Structure 1
Amino acid sequence: MMAVVNGETMTDSDTLRLLQDAATSFASFDAKRVRSWRKNDPCFDRKLWTEMAEQGWFGILADEEAGGMGLGLDAAAVVARALGRAAAPEPFVAAGVVAPQLLAKCYSSPVRDAALQNIIAGKTVATVAWQNPSGSPQAEDTDIAVQDQGSSALLSGEARFVPVAAADAFIIASKYEEGIGLWWLPANAPGLTVQAEEQADGSRTAWLRLSNVALDWDQRLTKPGSGASLLEEARDIGTVANSAELMGLIERSLEITLDYLKVRKQFGQAIGSFQVLQHRAVDLWMQKEVANHATAAAISAIDSSGISAAARAISASSAKARVSEVALKMANETVQLHGAIGFTDEYDLGLYVNRILSTVPYLGNAGDHRKRYGVLKQKWGAAA
């Protein structure tokens, strides 16, 4: 595939290379900055968020007609991975991939079009809310119900585990007799209560409680019954982008640890020279490579033309199951290999470990995706 950038014809590999260089340069690790946003609303830098928008990152997946770049999941994964390596607190996957991807698939309307344009421009931070308080990942299990009031609709219920508690707006999944619908819900809507819940890295998820929230019908983003499939597609794409961010965290955690093994000395020699620690380090490297290949395979599959919804879901769950497992193993093992210093808040490794602990559950952990993978393979088998 060819693209034209600044009047020059470029291949996909050229575009990805330029994007990777830009993302790596932009998302350099700054421990002081990361620590400064922990527990401080909105838990990320809105000024930096605007600068990310100026790079075009929130429109990577959206079509050019919608103001996006029309690139593939591989491009979004490049940015997510770079941000992971920097342990950046900015919610790129939740608010810069999943939300605009979902909106871009909804039918065009004044509300939808304005919302998507503002997200791509970095003016609005929005995130998706569908999980009920028990945490079910299935859109059909949403707790939000709709009552038809004629000129408006009343939404009531709860949604939990919503990333970015300080979001400006939420894309809400609600249930009808016909199925799932999606709505655009401003964070300041009367009747909406947002309870922030702190995560390991200092970021906050939201527990939304809706009590007769009145919305105009033009704030409905989909027809009743069509929301579930759109949400599943956005979740699958977000799951792989989430895996890419975890890969950045995994890689950098291992690099910090290998550097430490070279300089920490016991009995007059670097502990990295001890065979038992070398074996553990090699095992971590191998696990990292396996996770990397799983992520790359999912990206390649989803970016291929004509992939079915079942195959897309299987690819996403396969990657996230593997990467989540490796990420948690990396967090545990790297702390152990550091010894007591690995537990300290002042040491940079802790920023990566806590970010891993907060990032793994989003869109499902290893157990969730192994179960989903098994169900899908049993249902679709070779047909997927």
Structure 2
Amino acid sequence: MDFRLSEEQQQFADSLQRWIARDYSFEARQKIVASAPGVSDPAYAALTELGALALAVPEEAGGLGGSPEDLMIVMKEIGRGLVIEPYFATVLAADFLRRGGHTAVLEQVAAGTLQLACALNEKEAGHELFNIAVTARADGDAYVVQGSKCAVIHGAQADALVVSVRTSGAPRDQDGISLLYVPRDTPGMTITEYRTYDGQRAASVTFDQARLPATALIGQAGKGWEILEAATDFGVVLLCAEAVGAMEAANALTLDYLKTRQQFGVPIGTFQVLQHRMADMSMHAELAKSITILATVKAHRAPANERRKLVSAAKVRVGKAMQFIGQQAIQMHGGMGMTNEMSIAHYFKRLTAIETTLGNTDFHRTRFTRLPDFASA
């Protein structure tokens, strides 16, 4: 399998890198994080102009019909530049809509005029996305939604949400799950925003007898688990790609620091023990990159069990790399590495947040071992 980027893909990656270097410096990002909105409309417009949003939308729905590998390129550069705009949240929600045939709004996503988010997490569920207590009761030609979602990434910035609800069955059943498209202005829905420790924005979403038309249903009623699992598996792959970009940037920052920080009259990069650590960090990054590429290539093409196996294996391998690289980078920067003035601290925070999003390392290790053929992996 040839993992090299095509000429067009490399040009696209170069365009993203030039934009980040020119308009999205660490100082510029810090101002965006501290601003009231917490995101930058001009930055999101730049991503749209570059075609990053259109890549996530099929051609028949008004987009460019990009491959998972194309989106991997975007997420890797987003990770490298610590971009905090709601690209991931929108692309993940768009994948739900694509899979569920709910494509009427995707042209607006491609044009950058509609931002989306996914309300999938609940306080008592941990990483089990099938553990759903939010209910949607059929009432004539409508659904009445009741309950609360938490940790909705960029929920307050979204014009609409993809929400997982239970229309039948017990709270942990995989049957009886439905998916709904919920516009931001829906009566009975309350969004409470907060800033996360990695500089992103998230929200809690509460539904109090929120009424939605039957057309809000994504896919089939009670049969949403297959879409939910497949779409979030793709989301895990995208997060792994972001982590790879962030780890490569963290390694580069650490190497530069070792070359310039002096002790005993020489750069600390001349100390052999630190050179060995740096080599181990590079190895972890390459292993994470390789398995992320493999999982990306298979994300939309492999049978369900193979997809589950590769996605969970990638999250575990990337999780180990994130922990090792993050901790080593902070340690080699010393006390300064813990300060907000140093960009390495923000890479560490973002890597920590990725670890806990859509299932942490322990969750995916357990999921992997529970697959029927895990011993032959």
TM-score by length of 1: 0.89
Instruction: Please list every run of at least 4 consecutive aligned residues from structure 1 whose deviation after the TM superposition is greater than 6 angstroms.
Output: none
Map residues 358-373 of structure 1 onto 2, 5 A cutoff: 358-373=353-368
Q: 1:191 offset after TM fit, Å?
A: 1.4
Aligned position for 1:4: none
| Partner Cα separation in structure 2 for residue 252 and residue 135 of structure 1 | 33
- Return the letter of the residue paired with 1:239: V
- Return the letter of the residue paired with 1:129: A
Gaps of 5+ in 2: 169-174
Aligned position for 1:156: 146
Residue 301, structure 1, aligned to residue 298, structure 2? yes
Aligned position for 2:162: 171
Residue 217, structure 1, aligned to residue 211, structure 2? no
Bigger drift between 262-271 and 322-331 goes to 322-331
Aligned position for 1:127: 117
Root-mean-square deviation (CA, aligned residues, Å) is 2.0
Aligned position for 1:182: 179
- The match for 2:101 among 90, 98, 107 is 107
Q: 1:172 offset after TM fit, Å?
A: 0.6
Partner deviation per Cα, 1:209-248 (whole Å, 9 max, x = no partner) = 1110011112222221232111211111111111010111
Aligned position for 2:171: none
- The match for 1:233 among 227, 230, 233 is 230
- The match for 2:12 among 19, 38, 42 is 19
Map residues 34-53 of structure 1 onto 2, 5 A cutoff: 34-53=29-48
Residue 98, structure 1, aligned to residue 95, structure 2? no
Map residues 1-384 of structure 1 onto 2, 5 A cutoff: 13-28=6-21, 29-95=24-90, 97-108=91-102, 112-113=103-104, 115-166=105-156, 167-177=158-168, 179-302=176-299, 305=301, 307-376=302-371, 379-381=372-374
Q: 1:301 offset after TM fit, Å?
A: 2.6
Q: 1:150 offset after TM fit, Å?
A: 1.2
Tell me the secondary structure at the aligned position of residue 38 of structure 1.
helix
Q: 1:75 offset after TM fit, Å?
A: 0.6
Does the CA contact (< 8 Å) of 2:137 and 2:167 recur in 1? Answer: no
- Return the letter of the residue paired with 1:173: S
| Partner Cα separation in structure 2 for residue 193 and residue 344 of structure 1 | 35
Tell me the secondary structure at the aligned position of residue 37 of structure 1.
helix
| Partner Cα separation in structure 2 for residue 182 and residue 361 of structure 1 | 23
Tell me the secondary structure at the aligned position of residue 140 of structure 1.
coil
| Partner Cα separation in structure 1 for residue 320 and residue 292 of structure 2 | 13
| Partner Cα separation in structure 2 for residue 152 and residue 68 of structure 1 | 30
Gaps of 5+ in 1: 1-10
Does the CA contact (< 8 Å) of 1:61 and 1:76 recur in 2? Answer: yes
Q: 1:271 offset after TM fit, Å?
A: 0.7
Does the CA contact (< 8 Å) of 2:368 and 2:374 recur in 1? Answer: no
| Partner Cα separation in structure 2 for residue 19 and residue 330 of structure 1 | 27
Does the CA contact (< 8 Å) of 1:173 and 1:181 recur in 2? Answer: yes
Aligned position for 1:5: none
| Partner Cα separation in structure 2 for residue 383 and residue 219 of structure 1 | 42
TM-score by length of 2: 0.91
Does the CA contact (< 8 Å) of 1:59 and 1:100 recur in 2? Answer: no
| Partner Cα separation in structure 2 for residue 146 and residue 202 of structure 1 | 33
Cα–Cα, structure 1 residues 181 and 39, in superposed 2: closer, same or farther, change >3 Å?
farther
Q: 1:265 offset after TM fit, Å?
A: 0.8
